[in-house]
């Protein structure tokens, strides 16, 4: 056996080397795993994974919805006379026979619609036009099904001869009230009637930014659209001045104007006076649900034609997806729930189911359809 190597030991040494190498690899993998865990805990891995697509996947934060709603609710009066205002036609003894059962029915219907508009979570902002006073808004928020949602509200006290005001309902958890103001639209007392005041409410959003909300109900088209246009242009100019004063103090302010403008997006009021401070979302609104309601082409139906006199306008910053709080033209829609509609003749077409046809009670909710827009943060 001299001069010969003992070859039966070689496989064993080879297996030992392989076992040692495998253990070393496992140990290194173990150390790497600990290192990656430490990186993850320190937040380093997250930023690295964003740059190295395919290696790691970091789930995106889900956007939170913030919903705003605008609605002219067609003469929401109580059944009592307010001294100094011409509200006699909405009394139980007047021709319209506006009584307590009808009032309660309307309030309940409004509450159900606002509840349905929110879906699984409440509508964050509700702008209302044609409310008589604080009393009817308080009843809506605290004596109907809306009571459990905890809405707060701000309402104007305008000099409008009929006693008509505007109001903003808001969820304090998502829109923390900061301050509010009302501005009276200038008018010639010798020749003109006062219109509704402009309402401005500022609130803090959940992510910290301030949202300035304007609720308006511009002068009607009584006497014709052309003849009455100067009154609406005057109201629009005041709104523009209010918005521009905010823009001078804050870079890229978040502004939202809602209400019954009694003008459409192509009219001078929107196209010239309020632009470019505001951009109209209304032209892009489509009915929801759209199925079966392709005939609906606006919020208001009058003399055989649809119009988009109810508006939602936003500042350009709110249309930027780079902003923490934003919307888009695809996020605005009309509510066309069946209780809000009635047949138009004997066909399949529909129109808003209004409360009154002239002086006669019709049993509906409003002659306007609600307008809704979703924002995200």
Q: For 49-78, what is each residue's pLDDT tens digit?
A: 332 333 333 445 679 999 999 999 999 999
Give the pLDDT of residue 23.
Answer: 52
Residue 182 backbone dihedrals phi, psi, to 5 degrees: -120, 145
Cis peptide bond upstream of 277, omega within 30: no
- Report d(CA 165, CA 179) in Å as an integer: 19
Has residue 15 got a pLDDT over 90?
no
pTM, full prediction: 0.83
Q: Give me the helix-helix angle, 44-51 and 10-42, nearest 10°.
A: 100
Q: Is the dihedral of CA 338, 340, 343, 344 positive or negative?
A: negative
Strand intervals (E) in 104-235: 125-131, 152-155, 165-170, 176-183, 198-204, 210-217
Q: Is 75 exposed, middle or buried (0-12, 13-18, 19+ CB in 10 A)?
A: buried
Q: Rounded mean pLDDT of the chain?
A: 86
Give the pLDDT of residue 189.
Answer: 85
- CA distances 312 to 14, 130, 167, 365, Å, are 79, 17, 15, 21
Give the pLDDT of residue 212.
Answer: 98
How confident is residue 164, by pLDDT bands cut at 50, 70 and 90? very high
DSSP labels for 105-132? HHHHHHHHHHHHHHTTS--SEEEEEEE-
Q: What is the mean pLDDT of residues 139-168?
A: 97
* Nearest CA among 244, 333, 247, 248 for reference residue 287: 333
What angle (nearest 5°) sits at the alpha carbon of residue 70, between those of residues 114 and 108?
30
Give the pLDDT of residue 293.
Answer: 76
Tokens of residue 121, six digits: 């979570």
The 3-state DSSP class for residue 224 equals: coil
What pLDDT, in 10s, does the model give residues 77-93? 999 999 999 999 999 99
Look at phi and psi of residue 269 and say left if phi exceeds 0, alpha if psi is from -120 to 50, else beta: alpha
Give the pLDDT of residue 122.
Answer: 98
Has residue 14 got a pLDDT over 70?
no
Strand intervals (E) in 289-370: 300-302, 305-307, 310-314, 332-335, 341-343, 350-352, 356-357, 360-361
Has residue 37 got a pLDDT over 60?
no
Tokens of residue 178, six digits: 């900061």
Quickly tell me which residue has 């006062």 as its tokens: 194
Q: Is 136 exposed, middle or buried (0-12, 13-18, 19+ CB in 10 A)?
A: buried
CATH fold, domain 66-376, is Deoxyribonuclease I; Chain A (3.60.10)
Q: What is the mean pLDDT of residues 158-164?
A: 96
Q: Is 313 exposed, middle or buried (0-12, 13-18, 19+ CB in 10 A)?
A: buried
Length of the chain, please?
377
Lowest mean per-residue pLDDT among 25-39, 59-73, 215-229, 238-252: 25-39
Share of the chain above pLDDT 90, in %: 76
Tokens of residue 77, six digits: 């009066």
**Residue 86 carries which DSSP code?**
-
SS3 content of the chain, % helix, strand, coil (to 5): 35, 25, 40
Check: CB of residue 325 under 8 Å from CB of residue 211: yes
Q: What is the mean pLDDT of residues 124-146?
A: 98
Lowest mean per-residue pLDDT among 43-52, 196-205, 334-343: 43-52
Has residue 199 got a pLDDT over 70?
yes
Q: Give me the helix-helix angle, 100-118 and 134-142, nearest 10°.
A: 60
Q: Is 6 exposed, middle or buried (0-12, 13-18, 19+ CB in 10 A)?
A: exposed
Check: CB of residue 242 under 8 Å from CB of residue 185: no
Give the pLDDT of residue 154.
Answer: 98
């Amino acid at each position: 056996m001299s001069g010969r190597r003992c070859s039966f030991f070689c496989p064993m040494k080879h297996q030992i080397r392989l076992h040692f190498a495998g253990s070393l690899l496992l140990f290194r993998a173990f150390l790497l795993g600990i290192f990656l865990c430490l990186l993850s805990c320190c937040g380093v891995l997250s930023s690295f994974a964003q740059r190295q697509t395919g290696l790691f996947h970091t789930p995106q934060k889900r956007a939170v919805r913030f919903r705003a709603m605008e609605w002219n609710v067609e003469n929401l009066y109580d059944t009592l006379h307010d001294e100094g205002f011409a509200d006699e036609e909405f009394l139980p003894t007047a021709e319209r026979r506006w009584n307590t059962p009808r009032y309660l029915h309307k309030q309940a219907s409004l509450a159900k619609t606002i509840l349905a508009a929110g879906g699984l979570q409440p509508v964050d902002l509700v702008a209302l036009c044609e409310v008589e006073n604080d009393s009817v808004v308080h009843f809506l928020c605290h004596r109907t099904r809306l009571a459990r949602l905890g809405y707060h509200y701000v309402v104007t006290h305008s000099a409008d001869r009929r006693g008509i005001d505007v109001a903003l309902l808001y969820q304090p958890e998502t829109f923390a009230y900061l301050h509010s103001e009302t501005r009276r639209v200038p008018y010639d007392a010798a020749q003109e009637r006062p219109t509704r005041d402009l309402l401005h409410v500022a609130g803090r959003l959940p992510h910290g930014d301030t949202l300035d909300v304007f609720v308006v109900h511009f002068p009607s088209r009584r006497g014709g659209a052309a003849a009455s246009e100067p009154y609406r242009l005057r109201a629009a100019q005041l709104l523009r001045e209010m918005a521009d004063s905010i823009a001078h103090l804050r870079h890229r302010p978040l502004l939202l104007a809602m209400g019954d403008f009694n003008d459409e997006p192509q009219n001078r009021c929107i196209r010239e006076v309020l632009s470019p401070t505001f951009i109209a979302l209304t032209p892009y609104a489509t009915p929801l649900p759209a199925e079966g309601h392709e005939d609906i082409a606006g919020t208001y139906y009058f003399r055989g034609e649809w119009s988009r006199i109810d508006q939602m306008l936003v500042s350009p910053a709110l249309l930027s997806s780079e902003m923490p709080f934003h919307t888009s033209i695809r996020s605005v829609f009309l509510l066309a729930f069946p209780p809000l509609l009635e047949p138009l003749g004997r066909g399949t077409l529909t129109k808003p189911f209004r409360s009154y046809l002239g002086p006669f009670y019709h049993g509906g909710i409003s002659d306007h359809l609600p307008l809704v827009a979703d924002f995200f943060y």
